[in-house]
């Protein structure tokens, strides 16, 4: 892979160097911090689109939830969109005041009216979101230690996995014209795979920039996930001691031009494009975290300070990159048409986030939900530039907020992309050695 990417002025070599020498080492360290390693997720939400196929019984599909005793006190006790120690300590008082206010207003309302007001509030809150968010208060929502449940090949494949990607591409993704996708999980393949692409013939004629971008984001996410599986593949399991590592044959099957009818390199270019989009979001959201009110609070003051310093250091690097994607070129037409297209864009992506509840493998579902939420958070940031620029320094903003879940997903999703590009360099070396 060489040269300039489509729809932007950035070349692949610049991204490789920037990621390898600046971003990758730092984002790896940040993901190991307590604030970012614990992610609360509901893996029991039913699939909203078709009858559940049942969960995968393969042992590597299992996710081990984290015991409550292991979760830092500041994370499990804190409000979802408050970060400082003071904010967490004042939560009881705020809850009491809020209850009194609601009581004063709602004392003459029926239960049905109260529920309607709650639904309206949730609807208003959801208008800025590009993802279907889990209810963190659900008894089925559990904390997961991401470091102990790494994303890797699990053996999950077949009709259930095929249906998920088919639904994403065929029903919820803006597609190029003349796309041919004979997605058939029963078709013979060498080794089989849960996340294979079908043959795809592209013709971008008549497809606007925004819809091309959307398609590339989904394709890039797909490419990244496949790279993780190839790089962390179960190579052998002897006497109960599995050996995980890069599988060059699997990588070739998924990305080699000959094996993919020329589509493999395009998929990898879409990975780089997705990296640029999330990199741009990180550079744009920096002012939100530079405020003193944001502490990344876990209860350990020393670690919290180090985590924030490392995060701000990464933001400085992202802002120093000289070939960012220009999101201002999107939705720049007439106001009415642009607003309609943006809403269509948001709803398509939100639907994709809901499809992640249809993934039968718990580990695949966990990382699918996290990475789609991370990308959804990046899109929310890119479309909230004015709100971010007008943030108050010493108090939370009603105009733009990120929950802890969104912050954790944003950092870890970008960390996955950074890892994918790093693993791609490793595969280049391995392929040269096998020639």
Could you tell me which residues are annotated as the binding site?
A: 152, 154, 165, 219, 222, 254
Determine contact, residues 330/209, Cβ cutoff 8 Å: yes
If one counts every other C-beta atom within 10 angstroms of the C-beta of residue 219, the result is 23
Strand 233-238 versus strand 141-145 pairing type: unpaired
Q: In whole angstroms, give the CA distance from residue 224 to residue 229.
A: 9
Residue 361 annotated in active site: yes
54-60: long-range pairs with CB below 8 Å, 24+? 54/360, 55/360, 55/361, 55/362, 56/154, 56/156, 56/160, 56/360, 56/361, 56/362, 56/364, 58/154, 58/155, 58/156, 58/361, 60/152, 60/153, 60/154, 60/155, 60/234, 60/363
Q: What is the DSSP letter of 39?
A: E
Q: In whole angstroms, give the CA distance from residue 190 to residue 362.
A: 25
Determine contact, residues 295/33, Cβ cutoff 8 Å: no
Residue 307: both structure tokens together: 């985590």
- Helix (H) or strand (E) holding 223, with range, is helix 209-231
Question: Which parts of 291-395 fold into alpha helices (H)?
Answer: 301-320, 335-355, 362-382, 385-389
Torsion sign (Cα): 91, 66, 413, 130: negative
Q: Which of 10, 61, 173, 361 is catalytic?
A: 361
Interior/surface letters 302-330, b for 16+ CB within 10 angstroms, e for the rest: ebbeebbebbeebbebbeebebbbebeeb
Residue 230 annotated in active site: no
Q: What is the DSSP letter of 235?
A: E
CA atoms within 13 A on the CB side of 248: 11
Q: In whole angstroms, give the CA distance from residue 98 to residue 368.
A: 35
Kindly list the distances between the CA atom of residue 411 and the CA atoms of 313, 314, 341, 420, in Å, as whole numbers in the listed order: 13, 10, 27, 14
Return phi, psi of residue 260, to 5°: -115, 20
Q: Which residues contact 109 (CB under 8 A, 6 or more apart)?
A: 117
Per the annotation, binding residues for FAD are 152, 154, 165, 219, 222, 254
Which residues are known catalytic residues? 361, 364
């Amino acid at each position: 892979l060489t040269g300039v990417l489509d729809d932007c002025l950035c070349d692949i070599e610049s991204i490789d160097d920037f990621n390898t020498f600046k971003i990758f080492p730092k984002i790896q360290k940040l993901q190991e911090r307590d604030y970012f390693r614990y992610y609360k997720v509901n893996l029991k939400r039913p699939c909203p689109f078709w009858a559940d196929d049942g969960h995968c019984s393969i042992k590597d599909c299992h996710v081990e939830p984290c015991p409550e005793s292991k979760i830092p006190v500041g994370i499990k006790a804190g409000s979802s969109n408050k970060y400082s120690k003071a904010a967490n300590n004042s939560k009881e008082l705020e809850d009491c005041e809020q209850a009194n206010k609601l009581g004063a207003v709602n004392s003459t309302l029926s239960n049905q009216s109260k529920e309607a007001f709650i639904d309206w509030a949730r609807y208003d809150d959801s208008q800025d979101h590009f993802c279907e968010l889990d209810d963190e208060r659900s008894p089925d929502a559990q904390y997961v230690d991401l470091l102990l449940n790494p994303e890797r090949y699990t053996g999950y494949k077949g009709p259930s996995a095929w249906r998920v990607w088919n639904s994403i591409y065929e029903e919820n993704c803006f597609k190029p014209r003349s796309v041919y996708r004979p997605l058939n999980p029963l078709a013979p393949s060498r080794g089989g795979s849960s996340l294979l692409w079908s043959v795809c013939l592209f013709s971008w004629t008549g497809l606007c920039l925004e819809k091309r971008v959307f398609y590339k984001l989904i394709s890039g996410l797909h490419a990244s996930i496949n790279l993780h599986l190839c790089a962390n593949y179960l190579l052998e399991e002897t006497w109960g001691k599995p050996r995980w590592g890069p599988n060059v044959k699997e990588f070739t099957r998924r990305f080699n031009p000959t094996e993919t009818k020329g589509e493999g390199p395009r998929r990898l270019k879409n990975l780089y494009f997705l990296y640029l989009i999330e990199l741009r979001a990180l550079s744009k959201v920096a002012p939100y975290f530079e405020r003193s009110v944001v502490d990344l609070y876990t209860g350990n003051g020393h670690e919290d300070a180090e985590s924030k310093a490392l995060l701000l250091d990464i933001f400085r690097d992202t802002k120093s990159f000289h070939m960012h994607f220009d999101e201002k070129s999107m939705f720049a037409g007439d106001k009415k048409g642009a607003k309609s297209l943006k809403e269509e864009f948001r709803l398509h992506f939100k639907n994709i986030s809901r499809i992640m509840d249809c993934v039968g493998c718990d580990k695949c579902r966990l990382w699918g939900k996290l990475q789609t939420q991370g990308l959804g958070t990046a899109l929310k940031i890119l479309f909230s530039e004015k709100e971010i620029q007008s943030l108050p320094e010493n108090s939370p903003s009603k105009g733009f907020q990120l929950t802890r879940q969104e912050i954790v997903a944003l950092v870890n999703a970008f960390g996955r992309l950074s890892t994918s590009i790093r693993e791609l360099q490793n595969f280049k070396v391995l392929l040269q050695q096998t020639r």
